[in-house]
């Protein structure tokens, strides 16, 4: 029996969450084209043959924004590496920039096995740049990693190979190390994340980062899951944008979140969403505690 914790790290918008979902074959982490979709560390357990993979998705590490909230996200992402048996560092295959190198400096001294994933190789239509990129990587960076693998979260390229590589570096145990659950996060956490993911997907760039979702009611019945949620907004003018003309945007958000919830929880979902203005939602005890 092989089992261990695998932390997936990297700067924002390199495809960590999509890769995480592919590795566990479940949609647990929000997937959008916008940076900082992931705010929390999210774990997901995959049991495959004689192996327990506990993959951990992390917020994008961004050292350029000095806000306290961003520092908290960085702290949560970097703290995940100290519990890891294997570290997967995801970068865009076509560039290794200064932000990537800052992440590298935070893992350089660790003895933990490290895998560099060159993601988004699907963007190289002729597949003729990869050898050049590999040959251009500085030797001290190449030597840092135990494995380097090109991949594509978009079309699932190298996902099976990546799992096989990870397995080689996991500890061996005589019995299971993890409880037989999909994630340590509660079900209502994912219901809130699906709503937030919908907001990020359908709303303008700035607005989703100034909102917060709280689940007020979460009731499992025999064949139905009833959810009541509130979207909190920092600006009063944003309320009409989230609701939309005749409620059209809120219907769109609700449908997206409901369908993802039904797929994850495998039952019908009744979802009711309220929208409220609260300029100080980031100061609420509930919100701050959710990141500790």
- In the chain, the number of structural domains is 2
Residue 95, in any domain of the structure: yes
Residue 98, in any domain of the structure: yes
Residue 272, in any domain of the structure: yes
- Do residue 151 and residue 36 come from a single domain? yes
- Do residue 108 and residue 21 come from a single domain? yes
- Do residue 160 and residue 194 come from a single domain? no
- Do residue 14 and residue 146 come from a single domain? yes
- Do residue 15 and residue 131 come from a single domain? yes
| Residues with Cβ within 8 Å of residue 287, at least 6 apart in sequence | 212, 281
- What are 25's two structure tokens? 């074959």
CATH number assigned to the domain comprising residue 16: 3.40.50.300
- Do residue 238 and residue 132 come from a single domain? no
Residue 242, in any domain of the structure: yes
- Do residue 44 and residue 140 come from a single domain? yes
- Do residue 150 and residue 223 come from a single domain? no
| Residues with Cβ within 8 Å of residue 271, at least 6 apart in sequence | 191, 227, 229, 254, 257, 258, 261
Residue 265, in any domain of the structure: yes
The domain boundary residue, chosen from 168, 196, 212: 168
- Do residue 70 and residue 161 come from a single domain? yes
- Do residue 217 and residue 106 come from a single domain? no
Residue 89, in any domain of the structure: yes
Count how many Cα atoms sit within 13 Å of the Cα of residue 227 in the half-sphere of its side chain: 30
Residue 65, in any domain of the structure: yes
Q: Please check whether residue 175 is in contact with residue 1, taking contact to mean a CB–CB distance below 8 angstroms.
A: yes
* Per-residue confidence in pLDDT tens, the chain, 292 aa: 889 999 999 998 899 999 999 999 999 998 877 766 777 889 999 998 889 999 999 988 877 766 666 677 777 778 888 889 999 999 988 778 888 988 999 899 999 999 999 998 888 776 666 677 777 778 888 889 999 999 988 888 889 999 999 999 999 987 777 877 889 999 999 999 999 999 988 987 666 667 889 999 999 888 899 999 999 988 888 899 899 999 999 999 999 999 999 999 999 999 999 999 887 766 665 555 555 5
- What are 252's two structure tokens? 């769109």
Residue 40, in any domain of the structure: yes
- Do residue 197 and residue 233 come from a single domain? yes
- Do residue 149 and residue 212 come from a single domain? no
Which pLDDT does position 37 carry in this prediction?
A: 74
- Nearest residue to 265 via CA among 231, 199, 218, 202: 218
The domain boundary residue, chosen from 139, 168, 197: 168
- Nearest residue to 199 via CA among 187, 188, 213: 213
Which pLDDT does position 290 carry in this prediction?
A: 57
Instruction: Give me the DSSP letters along 121-168.
Output: GGG-TT--SHHHHHHHS-HHHHTT-SEEEE-BTTTTBTHHHHHHHHHH
The domain boundary residue, chosen from 137, 168, 199: 168
CATH number assigned to the domain comprising residue 256: 3.30.300.20
Structural domain that includes position 58: 2-168
């Amino acid at each position: 029996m092989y089992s261990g914790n695998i932390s997936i790290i990297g700067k924002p918008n390199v495809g960590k969450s999509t890769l995480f979902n592919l590795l566990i074959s479940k949609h647990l982490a929000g997937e959008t084209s916008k940076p900082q979709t992931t705010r929390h560390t999210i774990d997901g357990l995959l049991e495959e043959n004689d192996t327990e993979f506990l993959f951990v998705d992390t917020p994008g590490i961004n050292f350029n924004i000095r806000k306290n909230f961003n520092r908290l996200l960085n702290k949560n992402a970097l703290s995940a590496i100290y519990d890891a048996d294997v570290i997967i560092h995801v970068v865009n295959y076509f560039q290794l920039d200064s932000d990537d190198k800052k992440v590298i400096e935070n893992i350089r001294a660790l003895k933990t096995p490290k895998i560099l994933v060159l993601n988004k190789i699907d963007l190289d239509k002729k597949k003729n740049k990869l050898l050049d990129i590999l040959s251009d990587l500085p030797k001290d960076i190449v030597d840092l990693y135990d494995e380097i693998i090109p991949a594509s979260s978009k079309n699932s390229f190298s996902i099976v190979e990546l799992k096989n590589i990870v397995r080689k570096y996991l500890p061996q145990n005589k019995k299971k190390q993890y409880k037989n659950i999909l994630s340590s996060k509660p079900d209502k956490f994912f219901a809130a994340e699906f709503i937030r993911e919908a907001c990020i997907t359908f709303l303008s760039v700035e607005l989703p980062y100034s909102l917060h979702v709280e689940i007020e009611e979460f009731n499992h019945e025999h064949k139905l899951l009833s959810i009541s949620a509130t979207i909190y907004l920092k600006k009063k003018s944003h309320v009409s944008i989230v609701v939309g003309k005749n409620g059209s945007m809120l219907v769109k958000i609700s449908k997206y979140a409901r369908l993802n919830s039904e797929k994850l929880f495998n039952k019908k979902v009744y979802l009711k969403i309220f929208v409220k203005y609260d300029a100080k939602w980031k100061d609420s005890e509930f919100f701050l505690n959710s990141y500790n």
